[in-house]
Amino acid sequence: MHVEVLVDFISVLPYIGSNFDAGQRKTLVTKSFMELIILRWTKTTKQNSGVITGVTGHNYSMNDMSKFGSDWQQKFADYYATAMKIKALGGDDLDHALVAALPKDFKYITFINKIDKLKSILSNKI
């Protein structure tokens, strides 16, 4: 659900719709995918249970995340704690999609803008 909301959101933003092709819009969504997964997990997880309910219904402990490496486990724990705070505020799917996507999307948009400016500068000098 969050991915669909994010795709719809990105598709209707005037700047993105007119300046980004379908592949670039897909990249915006892809760069936000981990955040969307974690936000989705928070919707199916009871607060303070220490157990994450995955999309298949299986339960995982935070210790299960250590199998991916300690660096990833800390990042995951930080993302998850933030997502649980967002859940506690009572946001809807659009709120969650925005929180997941906007920081990375604006970073990506800024990067694309810099490339466009560089192309413009270089084409004017040739």
Segments making up each domain of the chain, as ranges: 2-125
Mean pLDDT of 98-102: 61
pLDDT value of position 23: 80
Give the phi and the psi of residue 57 in degrees, each rounded to 5. 95, -10
pLDDT value of position 106: 52
pTM given for the model:
0.41
Residue among 108, 113, 115, 96 nearest 31 (CA): 108
Mean pLDDT of 9-33: 71
pLDDT, tens digit (0-9, with 9 covering 90-100), for 22-66: 787 777 777 776 666 766 676 667 666 677 776 677 777 767 766
